[in-house]
């Protein structure tokens, strides 16, 4: 196969895998609702696409999925496209530089870090667009911090950094367990995936 053909093949693979990430990010809401789970599962697709195709594809999957979720689920998603981009970049960096996908403990630690990053990136949006409210139980923690004299931005950032790590650790662990469980036949279709030694 010529180099240009291989490149075309890879380009089309990226084009075909990004919609999978979009569908996983948006559609897993149906699984969460069906199983009545208290988590979001809105970044599993971004994490999987980043691990399989790299950070550019991860950002595309994350951003596009939130634009689509804004139409199909809730228009408030559109404000958090930056968080998805940050998740893709973070996952790419920790997977390539720190070899996070090699053990479950590394995944847990990286998941906590991912939650803190997501909480910090979301905080300015929550303050500017929603006045500090997120419409979840997290608001009680924010209110508690505000009543103790903290500034709204700091209160939102702290409440995010406290509540997001649980959700994001679960999502990163879920994505990791899915990657590990994928049959070799499927994994072989993604020769440029990151963390190959770990998955």
* Residues that bind other proteins in the complex, under the rule CB under 8 A: 8-9, 11-13, 15-20, 22-24, 26-28, 30-31, 34-39, 44, 48, 52, 60, 64-65, 68, 70-72, 74-76, 78, 129-136, 139-140, 142-143, 146-147, 152, 155, 170, 174, 177-178, 181-183, 185-186, 189-190
Alpha-carbon distances, residue 151 vs 81, 96, 108, 142, 190 (angstroms): 25, 36, 30, 10, 46
Least spacing, CB of residue 172 vs other proteins, in Å: 13
Give the nearer residue to other proteins in terms of CB position, either 77 or 97. 77
How crowded is residue 72: how many other Cβ atoms within 10 Å of its Cβ?
A: 12
Give the nearer residue to other proteins in terms of CB position, either 75 or 124. 75
Contacts of 19 (CB under 8 A, 6+ apart): none
Q: Which value, to the nearest 10 degrees, does the dihedral of the CA atoms of residues 12, 14, 17, 23 take?
A: -110
Give the nearer residue to other proteins in terms of CB position, either 86 or 156. 156
Give the nearer residue to other proteins in terms of CB position, either 13 or 108. 13
Least spacing, CB of residue 20 vs other proteins, in Å: 5
What three-state secondary structure class fits 49?
helix
């Amino acid at each position: 196969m010529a180099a240009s053909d291989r490149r075309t093949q890879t380009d089309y693979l990226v084009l075909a895998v990004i919609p999978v990430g979009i569908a996983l990010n948006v559609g897993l809401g149906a699984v969460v609702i069906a199983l009545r789970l208290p988590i979001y599962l809105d970044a599993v697709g971004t994490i999987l696409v980043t691990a399989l195709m790299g950070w550019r594809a991860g950002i595309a999957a994350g951003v596009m999925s939130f634009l689509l979720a804004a139409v199909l689920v809730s228009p408030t998603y559109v404000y958090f496209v930056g968080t998805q981009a940050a998740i893709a970049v973070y996952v790419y960096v920790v997977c390539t530089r720190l070899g996070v996908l090699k053990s479950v403990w590394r995944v847990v630690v990286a998941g906590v870090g991912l939650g803190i990053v997501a909480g910090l990136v979301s905080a300015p949006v929550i303050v500017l667009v929603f006045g500090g409210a997120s419409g979840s139980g997290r608001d009680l923690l924010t209110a508690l911090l505000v009543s103790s004299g903290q500034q709204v931005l700091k209160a939102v950032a702290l409440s995010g950094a406290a509540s997001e790590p649980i959700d994001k650790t679960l999502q990163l662990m879920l994505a990791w367990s899915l990657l590990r469980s994928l049959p070799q036949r499927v994994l072989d279709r993604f020769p440029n995936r990151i963390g190959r030694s770990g998955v």
